[in-house]
Homo-oligomer: A and B are copies of this chain.
Amino acid sequence: MAMPDKSADIGSAIARIHDGASVMLGGFGVPGTPFCLIEELVRQGPKNLTIIKNDANEMGMGVDWLLENGQVSKLVASHIGLNARAIAMMNDGALSVEFVAQGILAERIRIAGAGLLGFVTDIGMGTPLAEGKQQVSVNGVTGILEPALKADFALVHAETADTFGNLFYAAAARNFNPLMAMAAHCTIAEAETIVDQGRIKPENVHTPGPFVDQLVTLKQLPEVYGVVRR
C-alpha cells in the first residue's frame, strides 16, 4: 500500500491563486513565514488579495513585498506594529485592516479548519472589539459569536515534509501554520527538506497529509529566513 504524492513545482502551485483570492500566510514574525511562496506570489502578481496573517512582517520582507507591489486590498491580522508601510497604508485608506485578537484569530481559523461555522467566546466583552458583533447566550452566559475564517489558499512553511504532505515544523515556526493548513480550500506547503514517506515518525507529524494539496521543495533557503531586522 502506498500514499499519494503531492509534489509540485512552485510556479504551477502558485498559478492557482487568482485575482481577488483570500490567502492565509503562516508565520509569527519571521519563523514559519513561507517567504519563497510569497516571493513567487509577488512574481506572478495577482491583485486584490485578502491576506490573513498574524502580523504584517517587517518592512522589506514577506507580507511587505505584497503590500509594496500593490497586491493586497485587505489584511486580517492581530497586529501590524512592526511594519510602518502597513500602518501608513491603513491610515491613508489604501489598505483595509481587520484587527482580530491573536488567540481569537487562531481559533477562527482552526474552527474553519474543523468544518464548523463559528464559536462563542467571552473574550472582548465590554471592549471595543465586541462592538457590532452578534451576541449569543450559552447556558446562561453571554458571549460574542465569532465566525469561522476560511480562505481560498493557505501558504505554509514546514521544516520537513514527506511526499504525501505530512508536515513537521521547527520550534516556534509552528504558530499559525497547522491551523491555516486546515482552513483553506487549497493548501500549498513549502518545506526545507522533503523526505520519503515513512521517514517522519507517525506520532511526530504536526499536519497530517490529507490537509495538504501541493508540496514545494525549497532548493536553497534565501537569507530572509535567517535574519531578523530591528
Question: Which A residues have a C-beta under 8 Å from some C-beta of B?
Answer: 107, 111, 114-122, 136, 138-139, 141, 143, 145, 147-148, 168-171, 174, 202-204, 206
Contacts and interface: CB of A to CB of B under 8 A. Distances in A.
A67 to B, nearest CB: 27
Contacts of A141: 117
A142 to B, nearest CB: 9
Contact of A203 (B118, B121, B168): B168
Contacts of A139: 117, 147
Given A147-B139, A168-B203, A203-B204, A107 B114 contact: yes
Contacts of A143: 116-118
A139 B116 CA distance: 12
Contacts of A121: 115-117
- Secondary structure call for the A interface: mixed
B118 A138 contact: yes
Given A118-B136, A203-B206, 9 more contacts: A117-B121, A118-B119, A136-B136, A136-B145, A168-B203, A169-B203, A170-B203, A203-B204, A204-B204
Contacts of A147: 138-139
Contacts of A117: 119-122, 138-139, 141, 143
23 contacts: A107-B114, A107-B116, A115-B121, A116-B120, A117-B119, A117-B120, A117-B121, A117-B122, A117-B138, A117-B139, A117-B141, A117-B143, A118-B119, A118-B120, A120-B120, A136-B136, A136-B145, A138-B145, A138-B147, A169-B203, A171-B202, A171-B203, A203-B204
A36 to B, nearest CB: 22
Contacts of A204: 203-204
